[in-house]
Amino acid sequence: MIKKVAITGGTHGNELTGVYLVKKWQKSPTRIKRSSFETITQLMNQQAIKEVRRYIDHDLNRSFGLTDLADKTLNSHEAKLAKELDGLLGKKGSKRPNVDFIVDLHTTTANMGLSIVVSNKSIITWRAIAYLCKMEPELRVYRWQGDIENAFVDSIAPHGFAIEVGAVPQGVLRADLFLKTEMLIYHLLDYIEKENSGDKLELPTELEIYDHEVLVDYPRDANGDIMAMVHQKRQDRDFMLINQGDPLFFTLENKTITYEGEPRYTLFVNESAYYEKGFAMTLAIKKRVLIKD
């Protein structure tokens, strides 16, 4: 039974949808109140929110690995903040965590639409996602498997995932995607209420998902400078197939670099925050997964 849910926003301080949804619910908590469990809200990186920056020293959403949480020598702003938040919402790996389910709210500059990024294997997490997909058919699911140790915010709790909505410029609110994110949260809370109440839910028995395979970097010169940009025919084509020979990058010399791999789906295409991380997009395989009772 889920007893406590946390809705977190502002993990990245320039992604305002989550920030202002949390502020909305802090002013009107009855909107997220349900009878069988407690819902709390948390603004995560308040200094970055104040400065409208992604982070102060480094990415908070990569700071919740058990190794880093246990390392007392790490003293950056986000490293210290991660330990505080883990104490508040975790502790990670605890048999008696303070929060059972975390949904972390994000936006992306990529054309990802309404999407979920999940790395949790729990049955409750995947049943919740199945319910959301039933309620919102446009919702897409991306399973991230790119890290040896999951260091995302939602990994603090036994169950949870992140919501990614785009395309939204950094530091900007878009009403249409704000409302879609808000409605997705209400669906999630309704699902947990029904599960806690023992309602018989008719959920999809399997889901179509996009499974992470590899990160694709920009072409670079010997100094590490970018030599090409995402090709105009690939721009905004998130969750769309790329085949061998399709345009991938466009050089500063107006030459096209084509894709030479196996057919895959491109995600987070030309995400602005990922320039510093060294990739232009991710490639994924589309597959169907069974949803267990």
Same structural domain, 120 and 253: no
H or E stretch at 103: strand 101-107
pLDDT for the residue 101: 98
Q: For the residues 159-185, what does the mean pLDDT come to?
A: 98
Exposure string over 60-73, b if 16+ CB within 10 A, otherwise e: bbbbbbeebbeeee
pLDDT for the residue 66: 95
Same structural domain, 78 and 148: yes
The DSSP 8-state label assigned to residue 292 in this structure reads -
% of the chain exceeding 70 in pLDDT: 99
Side-chain-side CA neighbours of residue 204 (13 Å): 18
Same structural domain, 193 and 214: no
CATH of the domain at 286: 2.20.25.160
Q: For the residues 203-218, what does the mean pLDDT come to?
A: 96
Same structural domain, 178 and 272: no
Kindly report the backbone phi and psi dihedral angles of residue 46, in degrees, each rounded to the nearest multiple of 5, phi listed first.
Answer: -70, -30
Same structural domain, 177 and 40: yes
CATH of the domain at 169: 3.40.630.10
Domain of residue 106 covers 4-204
Same structural domain, 268 and 234: yes
Same structural domain, 237 and 140: no
On the question of pLDDT at 293 being above 80, the answer is no
Rounded CA-CA distance 20/247 in Å is 38
Nearest Cα to 108, choosing from 287, 285, 283, 281? 281
On the question of pLDDT at 126 being above 70, the answer is yes
Helix (H, G, I), strand (E, B) or coil at 7: strand
Same structural domain, 235 and 267: yes
pLDDT in tens, 139-168: 999 999 867 678 999 999 999 999 999 999
Predicted TM-score (pTM) of the model is 0.96
| Number of structural domains the chain divides into | 2
272: confidence class by pLDDT, cuts 50, 70, 90:
very high
pLDDT for the residue 119: 95
Tell me how long the chain is.
293
pLDDT in tens, 30-85: 999 999 999 999 999 999 999 999 999 999 999 999 999 999 999 999 999 999 99
Same structural domain, 187 and 63: yes
Rounded CA-CA distance 14/82 in Å is 18
Classify residue 155 as left (phi > 0), alpha (psi -120 to 50) or beta: alpha
Comparing 185 with 149, the larger pLDDT belongs to: 185
Q: For the residues 97-115, what does the mean pLDDT come to?
A: 98
pLDDT for the residue 200: 86
Burial of 187 per CB tally in 10 Å (0-12, 13-18, 19+): middle
pLDDT in tens, 217-228: 999 999 999 999
List the 256-258 sheet strands across, edge first. Answer: 228-230, 247-251, 256-258
